[in-house]
Amino acid sequence: MNNLIHKIKNRDELTREELSYLLALDDFSKIFRLADDIRNENFGNYVDIRAILEFSNYCKRKCKYCGLNSTNKNVKRYRMSVDEILETVKTAYYAGYKTIVLQSGEDNYYTAKMIGDIVRQIKKHTSMAVTVSSGELSYEDYKYIKLCGADRYLLKHETSDEKIYSYLHSCGTLKNRLNALKNLKSLGYYTGSGFMIGLPFQTLDTIANDILTLASIPCDMAGIGPFIAHSDTPLRDLQNGSTELTKRAVALTRIMLPKAHLPATTALGVIDSKEKDNIFSCGANVIMRKVTPQKYEQYYSIYPSNIKVSDIYKERKILEQQIKNLGRIPV
C-alpha cells in the first residue's frame, strides 16, 4: 500500500492490477485525500458550472440500460426547433452560464449541417464554449461541426469490456466507439468520455480498465456515474450502481488524469444528493445543470430522476449558493 501511495505522490502511472487493488480497499480515505489534493493543485477552489440542453430524445440506438432506446414505445419523443434551441441557450447565457452542452439521442433528423449552424449561431450571439454530445458521427461530420466552432465533444465509452459492451449494445461496437473518440481527439476537440458503475458482469478489473481507457485517449473530460435501473428497459431488475464505487472511480481517474474535468454526474445525485456534494472532495470539479425547457425535460428520461427544471435564472443562483455552502467558488 505504501509503495502505491508513493507512486501516486510521485505522479507515476498506475497499472490495471494496482487500480483494481485500490478499488477494493477496506479504507479508501487516504486515496480520496490524495485525489482531492490533486484536484486542488490543478483547479484550486473552483467548481465549473455548465448548462446542458437536451434538444432531442429521439434515438436510433438500442442500448439496454437507456430509457431513450428506440424500442421503448412508452416515451413521448420530442425535437426542439433550431429557434427554440437558440432561445434557450441565450437564456442560459444571460443567467450566467459560460458553457452549453448540446445533448441528444442519436437522431438523424439533425444533420451535421444543422448542428454546425446551431453552433455557429451560438458563437455569433454569445461567448459561450460549446460542447456537443450527439453520439457517434463520421469523421467528416465531426470535422464540419468543429469547423463551425464547437469546442468540445462528449461521447462516453460506457464500458471498456468488449463482451459487456456487445451485450449492452446490439447497435454498435466498442471498436467504433473508441475510434470515434480518437477521431474527436485528433480533430482538436476537447474530448470527453466516461463510463457507468454497476453494469452487468462488471468487475473491479473492468473499472480499472475503464480508467486506463480514459487515459489512453487521453480524455480531457470524463463523466463517471452509477447505473440506475429504468423500468422500460431490459435491465429494469438490475440493482443500481454503488455510489461508493463511483466515488472511488472518480478519485482514481483524478489521480490518473490530474488535469481532466470531472463532473459530479447527475445520476449520482439522483441516487443520493449528499454523495453528489461529497464527490467534490473526491476529485470532481464540474457540475452540469439542465436548462431543457420544462415541457420537454420530463421526456428526456435516460434513467428515472426526481430532478426538475423550473426557472433557469433562479436555479443558477441556487446552484451558486450550494457550491458556496461547500466552501467552493462557482465559476
Q: Indicate the annotated binding residues.
A: 59, 63, 66, 134, 158, 177
Stretch that binds ligand 5AD, among 36-44, 71-79, 140-148, 225-233 (CB under 6 A): 225-233
> Closest distance between ligand 5AD and the C-beta of residue 69, in Å?
9
Among 31, 34, 66, 221, binds ligand 5AD (CB under 6 A): 66
Q: Which is nearer to ligand 5AD, 225 or 283 (CB)?
A: 225
Does residue 65 touch ligand 5AD according to CB under 6 A?
yes
Interaction between residue 169 and ligand 5AD (CB under 6 A) = no
Q: Under the criterion CB under 6 A, does residue 302 sit at the interface with ligand 5AD?
A: yes
Q: Exactly one of 267, 284, 291, 309 binds ligand 5AD (CB under 6 A); which one?
A: 267
For ligand 5AD, which residue of 225, 269, 283, 293 counts as binding (CB under 6 A)? Answer: 225
Say if residues 133 and 181 touch (Cβ distance below 8 Å).
Answer: no
Residue given cell 429557434 in the structure block = 83
Long-range contacts of 217-220 (CB under 8 A, 24+ apart): 217/181, 217/182, 217/185, 217/191, 217/193, 218/185, 218/257, 219/181, 219/191, 219/192, 219/193, 219/257, 219/260, 220/152, 220/190, 220/191, 220/192, 220/259, 220/260, 220/261
Which of residues 171 and 331 has its CB atom nearest to ligand 5AD in the complex?
171
Helix or strand or coil: residue 4? helix
Distance in Å, CB of 234 to ligand 5AD, minimum: 11
Size of the site for ligand 5AD (CB under 6 A): 12
Question: To which H or E segment does residue 186 belong?
Answer: helix 174-186
Which residue reads 448540446 in cell numbers? 102
Q: Pick one of 106, 158, 161, 297: the residue that binds ligand 5AD (CB under 6 A).
A: 158
Pick 200 or 218: Cβ nearer ligand 5AD: 200
Do residues 217 and 185 touch, judged by C-beta distance below 8 A? yes
Judged by CB under 6 A, does residue 300 bind ligand 5AD?
A: no
The SS3 call for residue 25 is coil
CB of 156 to ligand 5AD, least distance (A): 4
Q: Is 105 in the site for ligand 5AD (CB under 6 A)?
A: no
Q: Which is nearer to ligand 5AD, 267 or 287 (CB)?
A: 267
Q: Measure the CA–CA gap between 323 and 328, rounded to whole angstroms.
A: 6
Determine how β-strand 46-56 pairs with β-strand 99-104.
Answer: parallel
Q: Which stretch binds ligand 5AD (CB under 6 A): 92-100, 201-209, 221-229, 309-317?
A: 221-229
Should residue 288 be labelled a site residue for ligand 5AD when binding is judged by CB under 6 A?
A: no
**Is residue 103 within 8 Å of residue 329, measured between CB atoms?**
no
If one asks whether residue 227 binds ligand 5AD (CB under 6 A), the answer comes out as yes
Q: Is 156 in the site for ligand 5AD (CB under 6 A)?
A: yes
- List the grid coordinates of 135: 453520439
Tell me the C-alpha distance between 164 and 130, whole Å: 32
Q: Is 129 in the site for ligand 5AD (CB under 6 A)?
A: no
* Shortest separation between residue 166's beta carbon and ligand 5AD, angstroms: 17
Instruction: At 84, list the grid cell.
Output: 427554440
How far apart are the C-alpha atoms of 173 and 62, rounded to whole Å? 12
Question: Residue 222: which of 187, 265, 182 has the closest Cα?
Answer: 265
Q: Is 303 in the site for ligand 5AD (CB under 6 A)?
A: yes
Sole binder of ligand 5AD in the list 85, 115, 168, 196 (CB under 6 A): 196
Q: Please report, as ranges, the residues that interact with ligand 5AD according to CB under 6 A.
A: 65-66, 156, 158, 196, 225, 227-228, 230, 267, 302-303
